[in-house]
Amino acid sequence: MKNLYFLILSLIVFFVIVSCDNSSKKVYRYYEGPVQGTYFHITYEWDKDLSSEIDSLLQNFNKSLSNYDSLSVISKLNYNLSDEVDELSEKMFKKSFEVYKITDGAFDITVAPIANLWGFGWKKSSDSMKNDNNEIPDSALIAETLVYVGMDKVKIKNKKLIKTYPETMFISNAIAQGLSVDYVAEYFLKLGLKNFLIEIGGEIYCYGLNSKAENWKIGIDKPIEGTDYSNRENQVIISISGKGLATSGNYRKYKQNGNKKYGHSLDPRTGYPAENSLLSVTVVADDCMTADAFATAFMVVGLEKALQIIDSLKNIDAYLIFLDQQGKERVIYSDGFKEYLK
């Protein structure tokens, strides 16, 4: 699971008054819960409790893009029970095609069969490995499965998905959590909310100001193995508003075979985990889905290529933690990222 630990002072209370004028009290509410195999944390300024509406939105999202729901739209597409895409899945496919092209195939949601072989997907394979003892997949089976991988093997026409191979499947976790954040954010904006932060599984979209009338404060984790929610440390705290943010890294989710560690950032072009100097990438974009997809892609392409892509794109900035040739941890970030460090 991609993770981003964040620091938000407004979460310590349910209701905070940020105006001295009693006639213009602003009520900040907080709501959290389980979703998509992870947790969500949402803070918003509104005069009504929106918890039931949030629950409904997340349930609707799962019905579309959860790989763990056998009746979801994406599951039916995966198992060829339907070829119809809905609005959410079509949006995910559109962005996936875009990032696939920009990254020369490094981002590819059709990597699902490979992810399942490695034990990083929703389905555990018994054909090539025992997922509980960290054995790695058989190389011949990886090569055989790669035939079905590639966004060039699928297309959407008239709201219908067309596959070259029925064996092609899609994994949503590299982009869907970001889209789910945007889905809730769009609802909030339509309601007229001016101040809110939405975090689902570490992916974030924040808008307006926190309860102290400041930009939202978000912490980027240090890439330390073995950390969890109880013992994480911040690498840096940034100040942000009106943006989506996502972090990807291999330091928590990996498979170890002997002395070799295999991170969960799979290269769809080879069928094996990417090997490069990157430890963690945090991407800021106009929406969380875009940030989510590129954070995943950058962990695959590595430091040099990631910086080239970032430099070529508008409205994409990133903070990258990597190991130099001497094995020392280093940080580099795009010029545009500087404004979030103030």
Domains of the chain by residue range: 9-30+42-57+193-341, 61-163
Which pair of tokens denotes residue 166?
Answer: 């029925």
CATH superfamily for 61-163 is ApbE-like superfamily (1.10.3980.10)
For the purposes of burial, counting CB atoms within 10 Å of the CB of 338, is it exposed (0-12), middle (13-18) or buried (19 or more)? exposed
Q: Residue 152 phi/psi, 5° resolution?
A: -75, -5
**HSE value, Cβ hemisphere, 13 Å, CA-based, for 274:** 26
Quote the pTM value.
0.88
Question: Looking at residue 14, what is its pLDDT?
Answer: 35
**HSE value, Cβ hemisphere, 13 Å, CA-based, for 277:** 18
Would you put residue 247 in left (φ > 0), alpha (ψ -120 to 50) or beta?
beta
Question: Looking at residue 232, what is its pLDDT?
Answer: 67
Which pair of tokens denotes residue 305?
Answer: 């290529």
Question: Looking at residue 3, what is its pLDDT?
Answer: 42
Per-position DSSP letters for 184-209, written without gaps between them: HHHHHHHHT--SEEEEETTEEEEES-
Which pair of tokens denotes residue 219?
Answer: 């912490």
Q: What is the CATH T-level fold of the domain 9-30+42-57+193-341, as seen in this structure?
A: T-fold (3.10.520)
**HSE value, Cβ hemisphere, 13 Å, CA-based, for 266:** 29
**Interval 211-246: pLDDT, tens:** 999 999 999 988 876 555 555 688 999 999 999 999
| Domains 9-30+42-57+193-341 and 61-163 agree in fold | no
DSSP annotation of 285: E
Question: Looking at residue 222, what is its pLDDT?
Answer: 86
Neighbouring C-beta atoms of residue 18, cutoff 10 Å: 18
CA distance 35 to 198: 13
Question: Looking at residue 36, what is its pLDDT?
Answer: 77
**Interval 144-177: pLDDT, tens:** 999 999 999 999 999 999 999 999 999 998 999 9
Residue with tokens 């920009």: 102
Position 42 pLDDT exceeds 90: yes
CA distance 141 to 117: 9
List the single range of 176-185, 259-268, 286-295 with lowest mean pLDDT.
259-268
CA distance 184 to 203: 12
Position 17 pLDDT exceeds 50: no
